Amino acid sequence: MGGPESGMRVLKSAKTTVEECLDLDIAELKRVGALTAGAKSTCTWQNTKGKELASIAIYADTNEIGLRYAVCIEGRAAESVDCNIAIAYTACNFGGKRPWFVCPGCLRRVGRLYLHRDRFRCRRCHDLAYTSQQKSEMDRLLDKIQAIRAKLGGSCDIYDPFPAKPEEMGEKTYKRLRMQAIRAEARLNCAMWRYLDKP
């Protein structure tokens, strides 16, 4: 159930998803020192097999970073792009300051920027959706049930017996997770009956 031939499908949508785009995470750039004035670094993306998909050169200044990358839009030759992204800071409750990108499109402070076509913008400017938003109700419920089963160290197959309580897990936590799974399974059954009952 829920496999390639299960009949459950991601809903059709014209929107590009954030998962389809390369993204820059400002927390990660700060962690590796890429925001320090004068720093020069490279951000790379890899696929699940470790093959490099893309890379971007990053040049940090006091309140901005410069990006240099190449894009290849269908039907056109690869083009080199240079752009600057402003960085804003807000004070943290316990000292220090937190950096934010200032989106070049809407000037909002954001933690991530996404490369869509040839430019980095926030999710709102690119009108991006999350894959989970485009899943059917049945797929979302199945994902929830399988996640609970995996957390308990059991099989993700909902037709297998429910996993026993792991030794290191408290009884209260286990009962809460089991109840969540039972409720999700009941909702999944109702959703399946509605789906099958459609003319």
Q: Are residues 138 and 56 in the same domain?
A: no
Residue 25 in tokens: 């995470």
In residues, how long is the chain?
199
Rounded Cα distance, 48 and 13, in Å: 25
Report which secondary-structure segment, H or E, holds 68: strand 64-71
Q: What residues make up the domain containing 179?
A: 132-196
Quote the CA–CA distance of 190 and 77 in Å, as a whole number: 51
**106 and 33 both lie in a single domain:** yes
The domain total for the chain is: 2
Q: Around 28, how many Cα atoms within 13 Å sit in the side-chain half-sphere?
A: 11
The domain boundary residue, chosen from 93, 126, 159: 126
Q: How do residues 159-183 score in pLDDT, each as one tens digit? A: 888 999 998 999 999 999 999 999 9
Q: What is the pLDDT of residues 12-57, one digit of tens each?
A: 445 777 777 888 899 999 999 999 999 999 888 776 677 777 788 9
- The predicted model scores a pTM of 0.57
Q: Which amino acid is at 91?
A: A
Domain annotation covers residue 160: yes
Query: What pLDDT digit, counting tens, does each position of 178-192 carry?
Result: 999 999 888 888 877
* Domain match, 25 and 56 both: yes
